[in-house]
Amino acid sequence: MNFSLRIICIIFITLILTGCKSDIEKKESFFDKSLDYFQNKEYKKAQIELKNALKIDPNYVDAYLLLARSMLKLGNVKDAYTAYNRIIQIDKNNVEANLKLAEFLFLGKKIEPAMEKIIFVLEKDPKNIEALLVKAQIFMQKKLLKKAFTVYETVLNIDSKNIPALQNMAKIHAMEKRIGMAEELLLKTIEIDNKNLRVRMVLIAFYARLKNIEKAEYQLRQAIKINPENNDAHILLGNLYFSQKKLDMAEKAYLNSTQKAPSSSKPYMITAAFYEKINNKDKSLEMYNKALSLEPENMAVKNTIARFHYKHKDIKSSDQIISEILSKRPEYYPARMLKSEILVYKKKFTDALRLLNELENEEPKAPRPLYFKGVCFIATGKYDQAKSSVAKAIKLNPNYFKARMLLADIYLNERSYELAQKEATFALKLNPDDYRTRIIRASSLIGLKRLDEAEKDYLKLIEISPDNPTAYYQMGVLKSALKNYEEAIKYLNFAHKKNNKSLDVFVQIIKIHVVKQEFITAHKLCKNQIKLYMDQKPLIAVVHNIEAGIYLAQNKIKEAKNSLNKSISIYPDYLKPYETLAKLSLAEKNKNKAIQQYQTIIDKNPNLPFPHMILGTIYDSNKEFEKASRHYKKALEINPQFAPAANNLAYYLVRKTDRIDEAFRLARIAKEKLPEDPGVMDTLGMIYYKKGLYGNAINEFLDSLKKSPDHPVVNYHLGLAYHKKEKNKLAIIALQRALQLSDNFEDADHAKQLLTELEN
């Protein structure tokens, strides 16, 4: 090698060595800085320095170990797991990485892979306490309690004051009913670390499970005595008193917690929640606002206050706070979730669904957006989508009470009684005293003909809420169906006493008196009910219509007509009296005279819609549909918002023509005016049926049958819709019901034909 070449090589090697030395110094400098940051709990800064070190040396194990620890301190489990995995790739024998990965695997319920890693760690380090504790936990998961106990004994041989081992040994003793031995071990943990509230809490929880409240309270008071400034102990004491319904003592403990930590929002938030639970709205809001004054930029506190307003139907205040939160943090998930609920409350279902879809995409394992999507789908008549969404929410959280109740209600509306009963029963395990859920289950049991079980549910409801009239009413209906009228009237009178303005209760009472031919009593009750309703014209019109029914049962036609005309004059939008008057005219075989009478009224006052309505109904009943439609149109010319004519004309159009859109427009007029009328629901159902929207149709028919269950035509229509939805079992039930009620309605022959086809 010549001299020049030798010089060049020396320079090149020197540069390389200098560069290497520089890189080593740099990475160690980054690591030393990160170590300082870590020790000072500045984990984010430590993370930055460690990543700089790893850029220089991607195989720097110590840096990965500290990075993984920093990630765990920051709550970033995913990146910690990645870091530990990377360490294994570099150094497969690394004890810490194998141990931590075993813990991750155990938490992810991957038991066997976790055990493999623990065995590996213990082969390297038989006295590794962390590994022994994980091994014992795996044995406990597998219900191998003796093996777990033996491992914990091994831990105590290494460290006689190991609190987790003592606590878990106590847990095993308790599981095997050795209560005294369990207590002895837990008391020992208190001796080891007397000032640690978390350690004492395990003992307190143990006493609480045994319902030994005195000892639990003593331990909490000891915690407060040792450390009077520990606001958590005061909060826990408040929780204990609250669980015993010692509300004054609970309040005192919670207020003490706020005094011990006057600059922390936490005790104020907990005290506010306590006041909310005991329905002291003003004090609750006062505490929430104090918490907010301490942390004015705390979005969680703001969102809690917004939810408080939402819960108490102050939607304006709730919406305002949510808008403030989202203006500062547009992606804040809890606020957006509450925003979607507010949109549902405001019936802005399209906007709500758009937001709920976004929330679901961001948090696919969150059940709440799915539940509210179900609510939106029900409101818009998309029952299959509602069912799917709510079922998905339940899959994610099997103990989601509201979702279980909603699914039970969907099944009940579909007449899937077995499924409804199953879901409601599960929901009641979660919340045994929920009124609505028990009503759903009782209704399902009636559908399954399990009347004794339904009766038990109603009696339980009366016990839970003796002032709620619903269960008394349902018991009355049940007893009436069994023809046990004495019992029925007793329960119905109770219901009427609880809510004397309930029309449903009143109707059932009148039905029983009519069946028993107690007409004087029935008429007297009608007069009393009219006084109760005072100036509520729609309800007074209904009572006059009921009164007409009583007169008809007595065969007093003249008096019945007078009552029907009173009903029409008081509230012309009400459908029933028109239909009854038309039927009376036809029954008297004096159609021409009736027509002449109403034509005379028209001649005297051509601006009245109701005579045209009655004439239309008479022609309708006589199957003279063209003439009927002309009068309905005339009534609507006089009053375009005249709901009875709009409904009947819509029904004619959907049944006899292809003018479905016009029928839909008219039906919506009727629905707006008469949202609870079963005839309007049936008309809308037929329009949806003709449009091919069979789910919506089923919904309307079922709503109609809730109001008027014994209407053969509506049951027939329901059967048609179920058939189109390919729910043939339900179609058969509906068609059979229709034909049991009547076998001579207009489409009875088609109902019989379709029923035969389905049964075969």
Q: Distance between CA 130 and CA 287 in Å, rounded?
A: 43
Q: Are 492 and 476 in contact (CB under 8 A)?
A: yes
Q: Are 570 and 541 in contact (CB under 8 A)?
A: yes
Q: Each residue of 602-655: pLDDT tens digit?
A: 887 788 888 898 889 888 888 888 999 999 999 999 999 999 999 999 999 998
Q: Are 291 and 272 in contact (CB under 8 A)?
A: yes
SS3 60: coil
Q: Each residue of 135-148: pLDDT tens digit?
A: 999 999 899 999 99
Identify the band that residue 17 occupies on the pLDDT scale cut at 50, 70 and 90.
very low
SS3 467: coil
pLDDT at position 494, please? 94
Q: Each residue of 694-738: pLDDT tens digit?
A: 888 998 999 898 888 889 999 999 999 999 988 888 899 999 999
Residue closest to 470 by CA, chosen among 425, 434, 505, 507: 505
Instruction: Name residue 757's amino acid.
Output: E
Query: What is the average pLDDT across 80-106?
Result: 87
Q: In percent, how much of the chain has pLDDT > 70? A: 97
Q: What is the mean pLDDT of the chain?
A: 90
Identify the band that residue 47 occupies on the pLDDT scale cut at 50, 70 and 90.
confident
pLDDT at position 298, please? 93
Q: Are 49 and 30 in contact (CB under 8 A)?
A: yes
**Burial category of 702 from C-beta neighbours within 10 Å (exposed 0-12, middle 13-18, buried 19 and up):** buried
Residue 45: what are its φ and ψ, rounded to 5°? -65, -40
pLDDT at 71 over 80: yes
Given phi > 0 = left and psi -120 to 50 = alpha, else beta, which region is 265?
Answer: alpha
pLDDT at position 370, please? 97
**Which residues, 6 or more positions from 33, have their beta carbon under 8 angstroms from its beta carbon?**
49
Q: Are 635 and 625 in contact (CB under 8 A)?
A: no
pLDDT at 113 over 80: yes
The DSSP symbol for 737 reads H
- Lowest mean per-residue pLDDT among 283-287, 304-308, 553-557, 573-577: 573-577
Residue 152: what are its φ and ψ, rounded to 5°? -65, -35
Identify the band that residue 75 occupies on the pLDDT scale cut at 50, 70 and 90.
confident
Q: Each residue of 153-173: pLDDT tens digit?
A: 999 999 999 999 999 999 999
pLDDT at position 578, please? 80
Query: What is the average pLDDT across 645-674?
Result: 91
pLDDT at 440 over 50: yes
Instruction: Name residue 304's amino acid.
Output: T
In angstroms, what CA-CA distances link 179 with 125, 143, 206, 217, 344?
A: 34, 19, 10, 19, 51
pLDDT at position 171, please? 93
Residue closest to 166 by CA, chosen among 119, 142, 133, 118: 133
pLDDT at position 13, please? 52
Query: What is the average pLDDT across 166-184?
Result: 93
pLDDT at position 11, please? 53
Domains and CATH numbers, the chain: 676-759 (1.25.40.10)
pLDDT at 12 over 70: no
**Burial category of 70 from C-beta neighbours within 10 Å (exposed 0-12, middle 13-18, buried 19 and up):** buried
Number of neighbouring beta carbons within 10 Å of residue 264: 15
pLDDT at 95 over 50: yes
pLDDT at position 9, please? 56
pLDDT at position 157, please? 94
pLDDT at position 2, please? 54
Burial 347-384 (b: 16+ CB within 10 A, else e): eebeebbebbeebbeeeeebbbbbbbbbbbbbeebbbe
Indicate whether this model's pTM tops 0.95.
no
pLDDT at position 8, please? 58
Query: What is the average pLDDT across 439-461?
Result: 94
